[in-house]
Chains A and B, each alone.
Chain A
Amino acid sequence: DQQVKQNSPSLSVQEGRISILNCDYTNSMFDYFLWYKKYPAEGPTFLISISSIKDKNEDGRFTVFLNKSAKHLSLHIVPSQPGDSAVYFCAASDGYQFYFGTGTSLTVIP
């Protein structure tokens, strides 16, 4: 039973536009959320995180939004660049272990 869901397996965006990747979770005990980025033949790399006491965290072009009442988080990339093309995983922690979504493959078209 997937506790973290990424319902869009893929997303294509024009270079310079905004990319929005979504993630939903079911466990209200999750208190820490992360986004990882993965290139082919490489392991996931940490991108950005957010604690449940916040609703927004920004790092350069990347912003993560958390809506606790909806159990939803999203990653915004503005502006999108071709180098952002990768698979993005969201993950949630209950303080004990991490639960990952199935990933969204982002393609940024030049």
Chain B
Amino acid sequence: DARVTQTPRHKVTEMGQEVTMRCQPILGHNTVFWYRQTMMQGLELLAYFRNRAPLDDSGMPKDRFSAEMPDATLATLKIQPSEPRDSAVYFCASGLGSGITSTDTQYFGPGTRLTVL
């Protein structure tokens, strides 16, 4: 049963600390998305990758957030320094895409619940 995995599931940290969230996409999927879920905005797209190359990261605060795909089996989202307003659930999703279009179905991981005190 292929699924997207995310670690850690929960993270509590203090303001100013670095936070790294990891995602393992479904094997064979070539597109990876990072979302942030908040009460007011729903699911916000932060960044996405196609074949490990970043296609769009316009949703991320550039000064503190960074997203990478060191290899096809790992995507990371880093926040440095973290702030209380970053507290949210962060989801990773993967899918199969071609050309410049997004995938028609995304498969989500269970999310990382981040609390910044």
Contact = CB atoms under 8 A, between A and B. Distances in A.
Interface residues of A, number: 25
B49 interface: no
B1 interface: no
Interface in B42-61: 42-45, 48, 56
Interface string B76-114: 000000000000000101000000111011111111000
A49 B63 CA distance: 36
A32 interface: yes
A101 B91 contact: no
Interface residues of B, number: 25
A93 B48 CA distance: 14
A98 B97 CA distance: 13
Interface in A46-88: 46, 49
B4 interface: yes
A56 B109 CA distance: 29
B45 A42 contact: no
Given A43-B93, A44-B43, A102-B41, A95 B102 contact: yes
Contacts of B48: 97
A43 B26 CA distance: 14
B93 A95 contact: no
A21 interface: no
Contacts of B102: 93, 95-98
B110 A43 contact: yes
B59 to A, nearest CB: 9
Interface in A1-58: 2, 4, 6, 32, 34, 36, 41-46, 49
Interface string B32-48: 01010001111111001
A77 to B, nearest CB: 20
9 contacts: A36-B108, A44-B108, A89-B43, A93-B104, A96-B102, A97-B56, A98-B45, A100-B44, A101-B42
Nearest to A36: B108
Contacts of B45: 97-100
